Chains A and B, each alone.
Chain A
Amino acid sequence: MQTKTNDGWSPYLAGALAGLVAVLSVGFSGKYLGASTSFVTSAGMIEKLVDAERVARMSYFMQEIPHIDWQWMFLVGIFLGAWLSATTSGSFRVQGVPDRWQQRFGPSRIRRALAAFSGGFIAILGARLTGGCPSGHGISGTMQLSVSGLISLVGFFTGGLIMARLVYGSREPR
């Protein structure tokens, strides 16, 4: 549809197509989209290299077995698909500090790295506690009208609004 130069596709169109992908995935492979479990299985796979016996005894890794599964390949696919789309549309851009972040905190990569690392750390703890992320709960939960998904979606945005306000303050930009 309308491809405004370098502005990508309409989020309504791309979003609707992504919805179709989510349905087809359930129809063909019985799999609901999700992402955060793979960070657990990946952490488990890394830990297995150090002490496999210990990993085998941990109850969370008995539940989420550290191996390459559907969701892990789904994430590999996201990487490939995003890379394909970015490089074929000229929107691939090597950037270590995002624009909005730089406007607020300057060009320090270390500062950004610290925030991204701690943000990722906190986010995954929350995601595993509620049992999903914006994919597993936000999309897959909401499309099923699951109560856990709907609650989580509201919580994700509430927490996010609070932190964005703490980070950027309440003033309007520019």
Chain B
Amino acid sequence: MIILLYGLITGILFGFLLQKARVLRYDKQIGALRLLDMTIVKFMLSTVMVAMVGLYLLVDLGLAHLAPKTTILGANLLGSLIFGLGWGLIGYCPGTAIGALAEGRWDAVWGILGMLFGAAVFAEIYPALKTTVLTWGVYGRITLPQVLGLNHWMVIIVFILGGLGLCRWFEQRGL
């Protein structure tokens, strides 16, 4: 029961912040995909930069565990491309569709229904995928520092420098 409450509280905080940054909107998401308005990219980069430092601190202190999802090259490459194509049409991702609906953008309802239908179809075709795409290039639960054989803080520092550089560039170009 308590875990459900944690989920609810985490969601409330996250949804509140998504709305405050105005990233729930179709116009913002499509704005980023058309390279006109980088608000959602700035939001995501800040989230990830803070989160990776915090997370790896906890991990180093033995207070948290990494749980990276399995890398399957075929499924990751194909699936993420397919997701992106759909995303460019709907203009919401699964989480932001829910949030967009909550701020009155009710066209998200159609998207949510499409996602539910798509999820049902995925469950139907899963047995076929399991023996094909989901077997193409399975590398297990790997992280970039493992692959590179580098200390994770080295990778984090490079990632943060890159992220800050990108944000600075967005600001200079007024994106």
> A residues bordering B, Cβ < 8 Å?
7-33, 35-36, 38-40, 42-44, 46-47, 58-61, 68-86, 89, 91-101, 109, 112-139, 141-168, 173
A135 to nearest B CB, angstroms? 5
Is the C-beta of B173 less than 8 angstroms from some C-beta in chain A? no
- Measured CA separation A146–B54 after assembly (Å): 15
Secondary structure of the B contact surface, majority rule: helix
The one of B42, B142, B159 in contact with A12, judged by C-beta atoms closer than 8 angstroms, is: B42
User: A78-B18, A152-B76 given as contacts; is B88 within 8 A of A126 (CB)?
Assistant: no
A-B contact count (CB 8 A): 522
> B residues bordering A, Cβ < 8 Å?
3-27, 30-36, 39-40, 42-52, 54-55, 58, 63-73, 75-108, 110-124, 126-127, 129-130, 133-134, 139, 141-145, 147, 152, 155-156, 159, 167
Contacts of A60 in B (CB 8 A): 122-123, 126-127
Task: Find out whether the CB atom of B89 lies under 8 angstroms from the CB atom of A118.
Answer: yes
Contacts of B159 in A (CB 8 A): 145
Task: Find out whether the CB atom of A155 lies under 8 angstroms from the CB atom of B94.
Answer: no
A170 to nearest B CB, angstroms? 9
- Measured CA separation A122–B31 after assembly (Å): 20
Task: Find out whether the CB atom of B46 lies under 8 angstroms from the CB atom of A120.
Answer: no
- Measured CA separation A13–B23 after assembly (Å): 13
Contacts of B119 in A (CB 8 A): 36, 39-40, 42-43, 124, 128
Task: Find out whether the CB atom of A136 lies under 8 angstroms from the CB atom of B15.
Answer: no
- Measured CA separation A29–B63 after assembly (Å): 11
Task: Find out whether the CB atom of A143 lies under 8 angstroms from the CB atom of B85.
Answer: no
Task: Find out whether the CB atom of B155 lies under 8 angstroms from the CB atom of A145.
Answer: yes
B60 to nearest A CB, angstroms? 13
